[in-house]
Amino acid sequence: MKIFHTPRTRSLRVIWLCEEMDLPYEVTSVDFGAPTPEFLAANPLGALPAMTDGDVAMHESIAIMLYIMGKYGPTDLERTLADADYARYLQFLLFGEASMAVWGNPIMATRVFAPDADQANATIGECRRFFGKRLAYLEQELGTAPYILGEEFSAADISVGYPLTFARGMIGGELSPTMQAYFNRLTSRPAYQRAAAVK
């Protein structure tokens, strides 16, 4: 399995999952300014993540996670229909991308490409507000539990853990004590630390 990667991008989720599952993988560093034909073949959009596994090529981080767990599992990180907490697991597995991380895209694009006069605009303000609302919801749902599913870490935590890596920049301040403690639990995991160290 080959994972195309740049630090602080969604490919972190894929590498983190592989580390948690103790799976072998190969990393190819991506230079967005000079994308290789191999990278563009894996993801014609020229975005991360991108993964190849034999003849399979995928480029949606949550879909890649589902593929890896399905093919290389079973794993305690996943839940199935037979599990009582399956619906909650699935909800937050998708929530981390579709409801949280997605709001970072316009903010990052504005920060990198927009002229100074356009850095603070209504769209960016709304993105920050939407992200903050979802962050507050995540905190409410987490409550006093260590992880999304209670005592057990799962792939849902990997999903929502990724947008927490840039959450302070999104909300313009510090995380709440509850969310900071949750983030600290996630980032203290050896698998996360190995994944975050990959260049």
Task: Report the CATH number that the domain containing residue 147 is assigned in CATH.
Answer: 1.20.1050.10
Residue 53 and residue 146 in one domain = no
Q: Does residue 47 form part of some domain?
A: yes
Res 114 pLDDT > 90: no
Residue 62 is predicted with a pLDDT of 98
109 with 51, same domain: the answer is: no
**37 pLDDT tier (thresholds 50, 70, 90):** very high
pTM of the full structure: 0.94
**80 in any annotated domain:** no
What range does the domain containing 157 cover? 86-195
* ∠ CA 14-18-24, rounded to 5°: 125
Query: Do 102 and 161 have their domain in common?
Result: yes
Q: What is the pLDDT of residue 72?
A: 98
pLDDT at 117 over 90: no
- Among 75, 106, 133, which residue terminates a domain? 75
Q: Which of 87, 82, 77, 170 is nearest to 126 (CA)?
A: 170
Residue 16: inside a domain, yes or no? yes
Is pLDDT above 90 for 74? yes
Quick one: pLDDT at residue 59? 96
Q: Is 166 within the bounds of a domain?
A: yes
Q: Is residue 115 part of a domain?
A: yes
State the amino acid at position 97 in one-letter form: E
